[in-house]
Amino acid sequence: MELTPRIRQIILYLLNAEQPATDSEVADALGVSKRTILREADYISAILKGYDLTLVRKKGEGSQIEGTAEKKAELLEAVRSHSDQIISDKEKRRELLKLELLRNREPQKLFYYSDMFGVSEATISNDLEAISKWAEECHLSIIRKPGFGISLSGSEKSYRTAMQRFVTENMKNQKLRNEDDNIYLLMNEEILSEVEAVLDEVNDPYLHLLTNDAYVGLLVHLAVAVERMSQGEIVSSTTYDASLDNGYDIAKNIATALEEKFEIEIPEAEVNNILLHIKGAKLNYTSDVTGDSGMETDELMSIIDGMIDAMDPDFARELRYEDDFIRGLMVHLEPALYRMKNDMAISNPLLSEIKSEYPEVFADCKRAAEVITQKTGLVPTDAEIGYLAMHFGAAKEKIDSRRRKKRTVTIGVICASGFGVAQLMMAKLKSHFADWDIVLKAYGVDEISGHVVSRTDFFISSIAVDNLGVDYCLVNPLITQRDILQISVKIDEYASMPARQENNDFTRQLDEINNIITRIKGVIRRYHHMVVSEDTTLESLIRLLATDSTDTAKAAAVLAADITAREQIMTQIFPEIGIALFHCRSKAVKECQIITAAIPKDQTFKDPKLSGIKAALCMTMPVDENRQQNAEMLGRVSGAIIEDERFLGAIKDGDGELIQDMLQKILKSYFSEQLNDL
């Protein structure tokens, strides 16, 4: 159970007392009223049971904690261990401040709460400001008057609404009877247990339809009502005759059972309040039951039809044929309208997540909810709109899924060279769309021929390619969440179109196989690793790699210039993964080549341009008719940097032998896939 600051103070006082202490003595010592001590007694007794201790209260003598010294020491340790918990947790402190205001109807000074939570009066003042909106949503106001103190002001109905909301927001799991739940702090535990037993005995089928939160809310409502009536506080507000309303029999049966159990008389006004609460409760969806509030089905369907039209005209026709959606929305809408009509607040714990994760759906539902206002004059709160968003969002997703058709979508990934960054992008895309039926191909910007376009559905590019006249998505090379959404829409769009036909000429396949074998063997044979100094600058590193990749000084100068020009188009230095990925297509080389370079372990480049870089991977390809094939092959190697942490680690560690072994495995896998695609 929760050890609030006030509970801890009372327990500490009683543990340190050498003889029984009267309630007045404890109240005077802690600066609270005698009524506060009385109110906490039952709760403290429940806590002590967990430590095999007993709170003995003798009239005329006072209260004392009895038990072994060992158990008292255990309790003392538990109390002290909680001493600073609330101070450091602002949100927890504010939740408990709400709790104290709800429990304590008596006005208290600012110092009372300051002392209780161990923080300054200014902090408590800020906390009160922070929770004032929450109180207003429950139609309660926080009264703060000099000489009067601080208290909540509002109707009994508003207090119950606030208590229900507080419990719903603070339930830690689906089981009501969890000893850590704050519900025990709000009311008498014995009454709560007996009310729960009464509801079990009533056993009306409708009560089984209530959601867990709605059931807790009803339980809180009834327990508070019973406690008030047991103390002689009777609801006296005027009410209409609800005896002919649907659901009245359930409310009357509950009231009769409570009268017998607690030997109290429940007035008709309170029966109507129970009925109001039941009819406004949120129901679990079931295809066998719709609401029973008395509103005509035609009226509900008129509202639902209007909301569907306002929500999304494109989906309107299909939404109307979603029977589960219509029934579920009717079950939800009827009690929702009663809540709005009777100004009953409801909590939606998923509201902030819905707003942030599905802003468009929420905005659409907010617009659709205006239909409710137009037809009934009622204004839905954001919490109610959040629940509507869950219904509409689920239905739209179901329709979207049904609209998708099973067919492979071919996507071209474009960058300046067709490998390097393109393959990094492909690795990201493969990760995000692992379960999608797509094929990804990398291209250089000048490889987009009519033949390529004819075999590709759409393109993804990190550079603007409007001049190519193709359908493409312009994305960040690192593929952001926004890019993923944009690409998803494109895939869905093309998934319903006929697949393109490929040329399966056997002679061409044999030629391509031979070409692939020759190029792969050349790359493996020519690979080698270089060790460079930590003093190496970016410019000198490029020159070293260019020199090592060519046969003449002139060719080295041309290649260095080509790599530098590629770097100026888009950086090839990636401190996020710790390497530089230099790559280009150049007339300075005659065949594809891969070289790696790294500084000794535990060293770092001094050049700020190479900050965070441990090694470099240089991949070059010639200007010839095999550009696309070369780009795919070298691209598979750069893609492995993202897909295989072991390969990336080998490059950063400068382990040339391991790099060469892994290159062979990567290119072997590439060769197998090429055979399957031919």
Higher pLDDT, 503 or 537: 537
Residue 586 lies in a domain: yes
Cα distance between residue 193 and residue 536, in whole Å: 76
Residue 137 confidence class, pLDDT cut points 50, 70, 90: confident
Query: What range does the domain containing 396 cover?
Result: 297-403
pLDDT reported for residue 296: 60
Domain harbouring 116, CATH code: 1.10.10.10
Residue 106 in this model has a pLDDT that exceeds 80: no
Q: What is the largest CA-CA distance in the chain?
A: 109
- Compute the average pLDDT of residues 632-646: 86
251, 279, 307 — which closes off a domain?
Answer: 279
Q: Residues 377-420: pLDDT tens digits?
A: 888 888 888 888 888 888 887 777 666 555 788 999 988 765 66
Structural domains in the chain (count)? 5
Residue 500 lies in a domain: no
Q: Which helix H or strand E contains 596, and what residues bound it?
A: strand 593-598
- Compute the average pLDDT of residues 166-187: 49
pLDDT reported for residue 393: 82
Do 56 and 15 have their domain in common? Answer: yes
Do 390 and 414 have their domain in common? Answer: no
Token representation of residue 439: 């094929």
Do 70 and 138 have their domain in common? Answer: yes
Do 549 and 636 have their domain in common? Answer: yes
- For residues 65 and 54, is the Cβ–Cβ distance under 8 A? yes
Do 432 and 313 have their domain in common? Answer: no
Do 225 and 265 have their domain in common? Answer: yes
pLDDT reported for residue 205: 67
Q: Residues 111-123: pLDDT tens digits?
A: 778 777 777 788 8
Residue 640 in this model has a pLDDT that exceeds 60: yes
Rg of the chain over all Cα atoms, to the nearest angstrom? 36
Do 32 and 112 have their domain in common? Answer: yes
Q: Residues 267-310: pLDDT tens digits?
A: 887 777 777 667 655 555 443 344 444 456 667 788 888 888 88
107, 136, 153 — which closes off a domain?
Answer: 153
Return the amino acid letter for 154: G
pLDDT reported for residue 216: 72
Cα distance between residue 548 and residue 525, in whole Å: 15
Cα distance between residue 257 and residue 317, in whole Å: 48
Do 87 and 130 have their domain in common? Answer: yes
- Start-to-end Cα distance in the chain: 68
Highest mean pLDDT, choosing among 463-467, 592-596, 633-637: 592-596
Percent of the chain having pLDDT more than 70?
80
Mean pLDDT value across the chain = 79
Q: For the stretch 417-446, what's the b/e string if a residue is b when 16 or more beta carbons lie within 10 angstroms of its beta carbon?
A: bbbbbbbbbbbbbeeebeebebebbbbbbe
- Compute the average pLDDT of residues 561-566: 88
Residue 176 confidence class, pLDDT cut points 50, 70, 90: very low
pTM for this entry: 0.35
pLDDT reported for residue 292: 41
- Compute the average pLDDT of residues 509-534: 85
pLDDT reported for residue 289: 40
Residue 174 confidence class, pLDDT cut points 50, 70, 90: very low
pLDDT reported for residue 598: 93
Q: 242-246, 519-523, 631-635: lowest mean pLDDT where?
A: 242-246
Segments in 504-611 forming alpha helices (H):
506-526, 538-549, 553-569
pLDDT reported for residue 182: 46
Residue 503 in this model has a pLDDT that exceeds 60: no
- Compute the average pLDDT of residues 252-266: 85
Domain harbouring 628, CATH code: 3.40.930.10
279, 310, 336 — which closes off a domain?
Answer: 279
